[in-house]
Amino acid sequence: MEKEKKHILKGGEFLIKETKADDIFIPEEFDEEQKMIIQTCEDFLETEIFPNLDRIDEQEDGLMRELLSKAGELGLLGISIPEKYDGFEQSFTTSMLASASMGSGYSFSVAYSAHTGIGTLPILYYGNDEQKEKYIPRLASGELAAAYCLTEPNAGSDANSGKTKAVLLEDGKHYILNGQKMWITNGGFADIQIVFAKIDNDRVLSAFIVEKDFPGVVINPEEKKMGIKGSSTVQIFYNDCMVPVENLLGKRGGGFRIALNILHMGRVKLGGTVLGAAKTTINQSVNYANERKQFGTEIANFGAIKYKLAEQVIKTFVTESSVYRVCKNIDDAIQLLVDSGVEKDKASIEGIAQYAIEAAFLKVYGSEVLNYVVDEAVQIFGGMGFSAETSIDRAYRDSRINRIFEGTNEINRLLVVDTTIKKALKEGFDVIRYANYIIRVLKEVKEVEKTNLSYYDEKKQYVRNFKKTALLLLGVISEKFQRKLTEEQEILFNISDIIMQSYAAESALLRVRKLGQINGEESVKIYKDIIDVFIYDVANNIRKAGMDAINSFAEGEEQEILIKRINFFTKVRAINVKDARRRIAEKLIEDNKYKF
């Protein structure tokens, strides 16, 4: 056990500690049971979802609710649920691959994710035995559908400012709930609502399990939306709603922590859910490029199209590598807690919460990757991409919400830096002292660049330097701005981007190295092209973000020193990115499908 602990990095520790390829999980390691789950998801989408996309988008009465029930009959709603509650009790990694597979289901994937994640897990993780026995088996089977009710008209990112109130009646048997919730996914048909409200004059939220048939629950008509049109989204009013005291979820005043921890899980899952949508869109892109002819040849033969196809692949591959890396961390953290005597439910939520930093930036990174993929798909399709006759139109519109879901990307970018600094201080790593050391070394000693390294050692050195860039800036801005740091959002965004791109680069590198160890180096030549292009691009992106940050606060000698440091940390060997991208695109074109 002690040996295992050494290889499990805590959340955010990737910035200061090395990760070995052997210690990550890669999608190529899915076992037969996991592959069967993927196949079940794909078969369900092919038979139940894809033929009915127009009916779903038209919100045909009862259809989405029926589809969730059918998914429940196949066991797809109970993958994370313990066996004693009629679930399959699978790992976090396995539940992620189901989310990723379902991610290509357009609006259905939203309903599925809301039900299995933020709708069901608050009861599973925070409910008492009676609440779990009453609701969880029926949620796992699809007999009940769930929704999560946190957002209010004046309480979005600042969730704790919500005005919904609960007052305990004198008989002590019921709370009277009054308030309004909005943008509630599945709200139009959900049987169970996880509702957040403040009891009496409490400063913090509590959580309640509310059944839609409780007196005083009023559900508004469906919202009209830009995308995910088939997803039920409504406002819900609670007018003197009678809630039994036994439906208080967790402890009084514990609702904000429940909301926060469930959002960590939702953010990680969103980073994985986009993978299904991205891969499906890439398949549609290459299929069309292989069929559409202009100037006497398929447009797939044009360098401009190959560039787009290659970038779609690179970004998706890197995202997938990052997602399953953190899944392994979460599963390992949960198991360590269980082994130390912590109950599984509590261990699960604590294990996920440990990786709040990774959850925040994977949500941002994944949603922006999908945005790129669908946008370039429209461009590859040309005029047909702008037509509602193709699913590319739907993919483009549906993608946009992901940058808002589970906390906006702006909020999550801020969380990445804020949480990293706080965690560093808590874990005893002084970012200010580190930054001052790096600056002093630059002034006193001319650092020698290492040469003649092996392929992987060279790339690892680059990634190590990317992480040093983030640590250097974290230390400098912490010392310079101190309590006013939260006011410097533009600089925080710069550093957040450096952190997430460093993690993405390292994750892809570790995946390719492990794959090479398993199948031999010859088998990963095309993946090395992905690494080469991505790290080359990341170096330039990090340099730009670093320069933007430095030039926003530094002058004179300090500015000069910091710029020299950033230039050193982002220096990488030149590569022929054109040929590398063409090789990636040509594999995709030959396969006519994403097979990376």
Active site residues: 406
- How far is the C-alpha of 168 from the C-alpha of 244, rounded, in Å? 10
| Tokens representing residue 213 in the block | 């048939």
Say which residue the tokens 């912590």 belong to. 342
For residue 293, the SS3 value is strand
- Beta strand segments in 289-332, E: 293-294, 297-298
Q: Which of 463, 438, 436, 461 is nearest to 449 (CA)?
A: 461
Q: CB of 74 within 8 A of CB of 38? A: no
Q: CB of 464 within 8 A of CB of 510? A: no
**Torsion angle of C-alpha atoms 24, 29, 32, 35, degrees rounded to 10:** 90
Residues in the chain: 596
Q: CB of 432 within 8 A of CB of 475? A: yes
- How far is the C-alpha of 570 from the C-alpha of 544, rounded, in Å? 10
One-letter amino acid identity for 585? A
Q: CB of 242 within 8 A of CB of 196? A: no
- How far is the C-alpha of 573 from the C-alpha of 453, rounded, in Å? 12
Output the CA torsion sign for 320, 321, 324, 329: negative
| Tokens representing residue 473 in the block | 């800036």
How many CA atoms lie less than 13 Å away from 494 in the CB half-sphere? Answer: 23
Output the CA torsion sign for 286, 290, 291, 297: positive
- How far is the C-alpha of 288 from the C-alpha of 384, rounded, in Å? 10
Q: CB of 2 within 8 A of CB of 346? A: no
Q: CB of 14 within 8 A of CB of 362? A: no
- The radius of gyration of the chain's CA atoms, rounded to the nearest angstrom, is 25
Say which residue the tokens 């939203």 belong to. 110
- How far is the C-alpha of 134 from the C-alpha of 86, rounded, in Å? 12
- How far is the C-alpha of 461 from the C-alpha of 5, rounded, in Å? 25
Q: Which of 91, 15, 4, 118 is nearest to 496 (CA)?
A: 15
Q: CB of 166 within 8 A of CB of 206? A: yes
The single-letter DSSP state of residue 155 is B
Centroid of chain to Cα 534: 20
* Nearby residues of 285 by Cβ (< 8 Å), 6 or more positions away: 308, 309, 312, 376, 377, 380, 381
Q: Which of 351, 354, 332, 314 is nearest to 501 (CA)?
A: 314
One-letter amino acid identity for 369? V
